[in-house]
Amino acid sequence: MIIIMLGAQGTGKGTIAGLISKETNWPQISTGDIFRKNISEKTKLGIEANQYMEKGELVPDEITVPMVIERLNQEDAQQGAILDGFPRNYAQAQKLDEILAKAGKKVDLVINLSTPKEELIERMLTRRVCTNQDCKATYNIKLQPPKKEGICDKCGATLKQREDDSNAEAIHRRLEIYEQQTSPLVKYYEEKGVLRTQTVSTTINRMGKDVAQDIIKDIKNK
């Protein structure tokens, strides 16, 4: 089963994908995580990706698509996978469909997350992530703080603010790019009959874990 997480930065795609992955053993494939790993290791891909991410811009398809294709071909993704942060535009979505069709697969479910813009900005500015790449736990110093300030509850590693989360102007730009390039995918997948839109917001007391529980229940009942 192939699941895609859609939604602007800060909506909780990673949190929900992680919870589903834990229950299904399907890998959570996050382009953002792979980019950050390459950036920290100063690989050629990481250096190129960082030039775009620092400005709040999306990494070009010629860097992103081959990386995702390679990841989907790995053994642990053969029974199912959760794509977190990909596809980001119509061209990527079409390419993904082509790749899956050749393997006799298809996109089975697209979870589209919606959150008010001002709430998204606040979430990203207060978001902290575990520096341990094997853990990658995410916290929010206001909504979901760690038990000990600056320390991950799960593994004890140091928490940090992502560089692309520290600048409000860059965050605004990222949200604008999402609306321009990624939001049209909602219609694309809606027409295919696989879209499921969920609102995640403190205003309705519905967070990522609530959405994940509903999705997991539906998967297990199929």
The answer to whether 105 is a known catalytic residue is no
In this structure, which long-range contacts are made by residues 197-205, counting pairs with CB atoms below 8 Å and at least 24 apart in sequence? Answer: 197/112, 197/113, 197/114, 198/111, 198/112, 198/113, 198/114, 199/113, 199/114, 199/115, 200/7, 200/11, 200/12, 200/113, 200/114, 200/115, 201/115, 201/116, 201/119, 202/119, 202/143, 203/116, 203/119
Q: Which of 37, 95, 162, 209 is catalytic?
A: 162
The answer to whether 71 is a known catalytic residue is no
The answer to whether 162 is a known catalytic residue is yes
The answer to whether 13 is a known catalytic residue is yes
Tell me the two tokens of residue 145: 């703080």
Q: Which of 71, 127, 128, 136 is catalytic?
A: 127
The answer to whether 196 is a known catalytic residue is no
Q: Which of 71, 88, 123, 128 is catalytic?
A: 88
**Residues taking part in catalysis:** 13, 88, 127, 162, 174
